[in-house]
Structure 1
Amino acid sequence: MSAVEQYARAHIVTDTADSPEDEGRAVPVAFHYDAEADSRQVRITLPGPHEWVFPRELLEQGLRVPVSNGDVRVWPCGRVQAVMEFHSAKGVAVVQVDSKALTRFLRRTYMAATPVTH
């Protein structure tokens, strides 16, 4: 198993929501990892045609301290959540995700990247 896909719920915390009712609403996000394609990168898909590819290390570090890489920033928000900020020509998307979901995803990526020996 070299590919991992995990779904979670995130909360929009940015003023670029489509309507005032969208602010803070839960939205589906998908985390993707493919060790065969690139063992250092992860993909996150937000609603609509919004997909971001960045180093897995950014998620790892962002659970503990604020970090950034290009158009993506990640930082802890209290003890149970993390914030991810995505910049594009269309604006900024900021979402809050449970740290447990990110930690679970990262654990699965480590297992997928580790070759099984018999």
Structure 2
Amino acid sequence: MSTVIDQAVQARLIASTPPTRTVRARLRYASADPFAVHIVFPPAASLDGSEVSWTFARELLARGLLTPSGTGDVRVWPCGPQRTVLELHAAEGVAMVQIDTAELRGFLAGSYAVVPAGSEGVHLDVEGDLAALLAP
């Protein structure tokens, strides 16, 4: 049985021209996908009016609270003692989002309570996933 953590956060969208605006995003973690975290932005935050979801490593988020981390589509770094920046790269461009570091720490603490760091492999259903891939 998978345990899911779904937490609302205030995400401050940083724009190249004012105004910067705040939207309510959701952080999601599921023990069935123990290495990943998801952040979901509402339709109002996107250019085309669709909900936008990003998935990246839980470890990347944890490291990014302390030091600049990531080299791919998602980069995370501390922005002073109270904010953390997520930089999201897509074909359409780059989005920068600031989130309260305390909210991110609380979310991660909840995820580590469900699946402690280093025990993620125990929560994977490799045989079930393989069977689903090979099913006709």
TM (normalized to structure 2)? 0.74
Question: Any stretches of 5+ residues in structure 1 without a counterpart?
Answer: none
Tell me the CA shift for residue 95 of structure 1: 0.6
1:96 to 87, 98, 107: 98
1:52 to 51, 54, 73: 54
Residue by residue over 1:19-74, the C-alpha shift from the partner in whole angstroms, topping out at 9 and shown as x without a partner, is x5xx32111110000011x1010001122221111100011000000001420000
Q: CA contact under 8 A between 1:28 and 1:46: conserved in structure 2? A: yes
More RCO (CA 8 Å, sep 6+): 1
The structure with the greater share of residues assigned to strand is 1
Residue-pair matches, total: 109
Which has the greater radius of gyration?
2
C-alpha distance in 2 between matches for 1:84 and 1:93: 8
Aligned pairs for 1:59-74 within 5 A: 59-74=61-76
SS, match of residue 68 in structure 1 = coil
Q: Over the residues paired in the alignment, what is the CA RMSD in angstroms?
A: 1.7
Structure-1 residue corresponding to 2:36:
41
Structure-1 residue corresponding to 2:8:
7
SS, match of residue 20 in structure 2 = coil
Question: Any stretches of 5+ residues in structure 2 without a counterpart?
Answer: 44-50, 120-136
SS, match of residue 70 in structure 1 = coil
AA partner of residue 84 (structure 1): L
SS, match of residue 65 in structure 1 = coil
TM (normalized to structure 1)? 0.85
Q: CA contact under 8 A between 1:77 and 1:83: conserved in structure 2? A: yes
Q: Which runs of 4+ in 1 moved over 4 A?
A: none
1:32 to 20, 28, 33: 28
